[in-house]
DNA sequence: TGGCTATCTTGTCAATGACAAGTTAGGCTG
DNA sequence: CAGCCTAACTTGTCATTGACAAGATAGCCA
């Protein structure tokens, strides 16, 4: 789908996505400029439109990439604690993807590729919860999944926003572990 | 500080903030346009700059308003479960404020008014956790506060992003209650 | 009554997103 | 191998926007 063979540029589509990741990591998705990406890639101001249509198209492609990366990271995790930590690590390491993925007004959330990738990530998430040893007190797996997802998503969102107090420490994964343990103890 | 008395417009500052809330609720903070706000308020395109300096200034004012509203909502809550539900209700009812507050790249996060308002909200949050009956197994209040904040913040962020599965139901407060109970059971 | 100052307007500029039309180059067909 | 065909990219343009500068207006006060 990406077409890794090069025509004029080599692989402009990939270069633009990489440049977008850099730009978003620096200044957030709101400050993203297609013309700036074109400059970074050394092409004309209208070249990005050919590959992505418009800005929303580019961010849609980024979201697809992000959900696939997330699904991969979650699948590699062992138990639910690992999966939670992997979620946090993904968000920190791929901050640009993460920030776009959960801001649907920035891209075409109903795009078939996006929904497919989102479903893959969702399935990986639920697989982690299903692997949890059942507690006889409450067999509601849906609510368990929702609580687990909420706590890791909230933690890393606050972490990325710089909203957490300094006492949280410098390592997001360690802090996340502590928090997740409070949910399933 | 706001200057509720009117000169030419009446209270342009407040009118612009209200228009900004509407615009952000409709299309997100990224799509916000100062000129559009001016049109909605029936003033010239440069009038907003007088009151807020620039776009970041306007969003800074919105963030201050948001943290104060949140602090008020949390203070009125009884126990920690109430506070969590109040947090969710605040985010849903004041979506525009909430979306700006936790996106520090959009405003001047070091503005004195913002830091003061943020501290007030943080104090209200911790007060709710401190009121929780101590569990002898783990007396770490900091981690309790972090876990509680994470789970409600994550839940409502996912809710607002439309990322939750349909099975979650139509009422965010009820779903939040179920999720929060899983943390302190 | 005269000025003072906050409030708001008019005018302008560079940057941007989107679109239209043209150009280039790799590959395919005959 | 010649010619075309189409994807990839460029050039040009326009409306919109944020920011700034300079001017006009109106309430208030000495």
Footprint of strand D on the protein (CB under 7 A): A 3, 6-10, 12-13, 38, 43-47, 50-51; B 5, 7-8, 32-36, 45-46, 49, 53-56
User: Would you call B153 an interface residue with chain A, using a CB distance cutoff of 8 Å?
Assistant: yes
User: Would you call A131 an interface residue with chain B, using a CB distance cutoff of 8 Å?
Assistant: no
Note whether B81 and B159 are same-domain residues: yes
B183 contact residues in A (CB cutoff 8 A): 147, 151, 182-183
Determine the pLDDT at residue B131: 79
B70 vs B64: CA distance, rounded Å = 10
B84 inside domain? yes
B104 contact residues in A (CB cutoff 8 A): 161-163
Fill in the DSSP letter of residue A94.
Answer: T
Mutate to test the interface with B, among A81, A114, A150, A159 (most CBs of B within 10 A): A150
What CATH number did the domain enclosing A35 receive? 1.10.10
* Sign of the torsion formed by the C-alpha atoms of B124, B125, B128 and B132: negative
CA-to-CA separations, A135 to A85, A120, B17, B168, in angstroms, rounded: 22, 26, 49, 21
CB atoms within 10 A of CB B68: 17
* Banded model confidence at residue B25, pLDDT cuts 50, 70, 90: very high
Note whether A46 and A81 are same-domain residues: no
Helices (H), B31-111: 34-41, 47-52, 55-76, 80-93, 95-101
User: Would you call A33 an interface residue with chain B, using a CB distance cutoff of 8 Å?
Assistant: no
* Banded model confidence at residue B70, pLDDT cuts 50, 70, 90: very high
A27 contact residues in B (CB cutoff 8 A): 105
B1 inside domain? no
B85 vs B179: CA distance, rounded Å = 10
Note whether B98 and B122 are same-domain residues: yes
A28 contact residues in B (CB cutoff 8 A): 103, 105-106
In chain B, the residue whose alpha carbon lies closest to the alpha carbon of A25 is B105
Note whether B63 and B141 are same-domain residues: yes
Determine the pLDDT at residue A6: 42
Note whether A78 and A117 are same-domain residues: yes
Note whether B173 and B109 are same-domain residues: yes
Spell out a b/e string for B159-177, using b for 16 or more CB atoms within 10 Å of the CB, else e.
bbbebbeeebeeebeebbe
pLDDT mean over B52-81:
96
Note whether B31 and B87 are same-domain residues: no
User: Would you call B44 an interface residue with chain A, using a CB distance cutoff of 8 Å?
Assistant: no
- In angstroms, the CA of A106 and the C1' of D30 are apart by 56
Which residue, among B33, B52, B32, has the nearest Cα to B111 in the 3D structure?
B52
Q: How far is B119 from chain A (nearest CA, A)?
A: 10
Least confident of A74-78, B135-139, B150-154: B135-139
Helices (H), chain A: 12-27, 34-41, 47-52, 55-76, 80-93, 95-101, 112-130, 141-160, 172-183
Note whether A87 and A45 are same-domain residues: no
Determine the pLDDT at residue B141: 82
Mean pLDDT by 10 residues, chain A (185 residues): 49 96 97 97 96 98 98 94 97 98 97 97 90 65 92 98 94 97 87
| Tokens of residue A163, six digits | 């909203």
Could you tell me if B7 and B78 are in contact, meaning their C-beta atoms sit under 8 angstroms apart? no
Give the distance, in angstroms, between the CA of residue A181 and the centroid of all CA atoms in the same chain. 23
Determine the pLDDT at residue A2: 35
Interface contact A165-B122, CB threshold 8 A: yes
What CATH number did the domain enclosing B132 receive? 1.10.357.10
Fill in the DSSP letter of residue B81.
Answer: H
Note whether B61 and B37 are same-domain residues: no
Determine the pLDDT at residue B1: 34
Note whether B38 and B122 are same-domain residues: no
Q: Which residues, other chains included, contact B181 with Cβ-Cβ below 8 Å and sequence gap of 6+?
A: B81
Note whether A107 and A21 are same-domain residues: no
Determine the pLDDT at residue B130: 81
**Looking at the predicted structure, is the pLDDT value of residue B9 above 90?**
no
Mutate to test the interface with B, among A54, A154, A161, A178 (most CBs of B within 10 A): A154
Note whether B128 and B90 are same-domain residues: yes
Determine the pLDDT at residue B128: 87
B79 vs B68: CA distance, rounded Å = 20
Could you tell me if A88 and A152 are in contact, meaning their C-beta atoms sit under 8 angstroms apart? yes
A38 vs A48: CA distance, rounded Å = 7
- Helix or strand or coil: residue B112? helix
B15 inside domain? yes
> Per-residue pLDDT tens for B78-132?
899 999 999 999 999 999 999 999 999 999 999 999 999 999 999 999 998 887 7
Question: What is the tally of structural domains in chain A?
Answer: 2
- In angstroms, the CA of A111 and the C1' of C20 are apart by 26
Determine the pLDDT at residue B138: 56
Determine the pLDDT at residue B3: 37
**Looking at the predicted structure, is the pLDDT value of residue B4 above 90?**
no
**Looking at the predicted structure, is the pLDDT value of residue B2 above 50?**
no
Could you tell me if B88 and B172 are in contact, meaning their C-beta atoms sit under 8 angstroms apart? yes
A97 vs B100: CA distance, rounded Å = 19
| Residue-number span of the structural domain to which B43 is assigned | 6-53
């Amino acid at each position: 789908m990406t077409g890794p063979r090069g025509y004029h540029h080599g692989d402009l589509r990939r270069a633009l996505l990489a440049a977008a990741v850099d730009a978003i990591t620096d200044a957030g998705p709101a400050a993203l400029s297609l013309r700036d990406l074109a400059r970074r890639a050394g092409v004309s101001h209208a070249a990005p439109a050919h590959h992505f249509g418009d800005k929303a198209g580019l961010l849609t492609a980024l979201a697809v990439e992000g959900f696939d990366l997330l699904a991969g990271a979650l699948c590699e995790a062992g138990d639910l604690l690992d999966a939670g930590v992997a979620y946090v690590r993904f968000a920190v390491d791929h901050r640009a993807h993460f920030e776009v993925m959960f801001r649907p007004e920035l891209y075409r959330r109903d795009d078939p590729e996006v929904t497919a990738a989102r479903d893959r990530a969702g399935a990986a998430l639920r697989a982690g919860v299903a692997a949890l040893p059942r507690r006889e007190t409450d067999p509601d797996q849906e609510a368990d999944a929702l609580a687990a997802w909420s706590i890791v998503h909230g933690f890393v969102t606050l972490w990325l926003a710089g909203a957490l107090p300094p006492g949280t420490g410098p390592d997001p994964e360690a802090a996340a572990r502590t928090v997740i343990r409070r949910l399933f103890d």
